[in-house]
Amino acid sequence: MPLTLKSLRALSDATRLRIVALLEKQELSVHELQEITRMGQSRISTHLGLLQDSGLVRSRREGKRTFYGLDPEADGAAADFIRLGVRGAGELPEHSADQINLKRILNRRREQAQVYFNHVAGRFDRVYGPGRSWQGFGHLLLRMLPPVVVADLGSGEGLLSELLARRCRKVIAVDNSEKIVAFGAAKAKKNHLKNLEFRLGDLQDPPIEPASVDLAILSQALHHAEDPAKAVAAAHRLLRPGGQVLILDLLRHNFQKARELYGDRWLGFAESDLHRWLEEAGFRKIEISVVAREEEEPHFETILAGGQK
């Protein structure tokens, strides 16, 4: 049967006109159409079948549910038929009740989404949320970084350096372990990160030209330095004027086993220690805060300190 005849036939029924009008602005499931029109499932399905056959209505699967809607790309004759159908539905006695019920169903949809968030309000950061991860947040924050040159001092194998290299102009990763440097460099090569360079060297005297980088990072590295104040002064030296230092470390703790378990030389630092070393090195705009506390014993706390050259 030609499409025009199919469309005319599809619109020659009051229920189908009602359905077209209901689908005019949003997709609905069979169940929602049932609730709005107070008709049985098989009746609704039969009418939807005819409307789909005419090409006026399309369906889309989302998980186990199917949503029906008008063809968003309908033009020419199809668009005319849709307009006709919507206008025709307005003449039916059920029209105003349909619109009221539609509004109710749409409100309920919105509320269902809110019910969950109201339920988790106040502990949202502690419940699982699909796709919410610190790794994701990290990538989001990275996008805010301008194309700077970074020194990652005490870089390890480059967990952070690799992330930074995807965004920054250049990353120089410095570590004093030959094995770690070789491993990190091989990994960077494998990941085609040409702007990430690993160098063997010490935190206290990194093999980096003075005044050549925009950002110096010491992530869980300073507590390994023999002389932390010297390492902070070295970071200052390699920064350009206006450059920033960021230090992530542990707040002073008493977990002696950290020396043997993690090779730590210092059991974290007091905020005042970091402040003093930053100031002595010549940094200004110093900011220091505790940014995280672990739930498990011994409840390590992470401190973030920063300053500007």
Ligand X SMILES: C[S@@+](CC[C@H](N)C(=O)[O-])C[C@H]1O[C@@H](n2cnc3c(N)ncnc32)[C@H](O)[C@@H]1O
Binding site for ligand X (CB under 6 A): 154-156, 159-160, 175-177, 180, 202-203, 219-221, 224-225
What whole-number distance in Å separates Cα of residue 212 and Cα of residue 201?
A: 17
Closer Cβ to ligand X, 120 or 141, answer by number: 141
Nearest to 169 by CA among 114, 126, 212, 138: 212
The radius of gyration of the chain's CA atoms, rounded to the nearest angstrom, is: 32
Helix (H, G, I), strand (E, B) or coil at 290: strand
Closer Cβ to ligand X, 89 or 222, answer by number: 222
Least distance to ligand X from the beta carbon of 181, Å? 9
Least distance to ligand X from the beta carbon of 244, Å? 17
Closer Cβ to ligand X, 10 or 248, answer by number: 248
Q: Is the dihedral of CA 19, 22, 24, 25 positive or negative?
A: negative
State which residue has the least CB distance to ligand X.
Answer: 156
For residue 166, CA distances in Å to 15, 115, 158 come to 57, 39, 12
Least distance to ligand X from the beta carbon of 180, Å? 5
Closer Cβ to ligand X, 116 or 262, answer by number: 262
Least distance to ligand X from the beta carbon of 159, Å? 4
Nearest to 193 by CA among 158, 217, 222, 219: 158
DSSP 272-301: HHHHHHHHHHT-EEEEEEEEEE-SSTT--E
Closer Cβ to ligand X, 37 or 155, answer by number: 155
What whole-number distance in Å separates Cα of residue 197 and Cα of residue 209?
A: 14
Least distance to ligand X from the beta carbon of 298, Å? 16
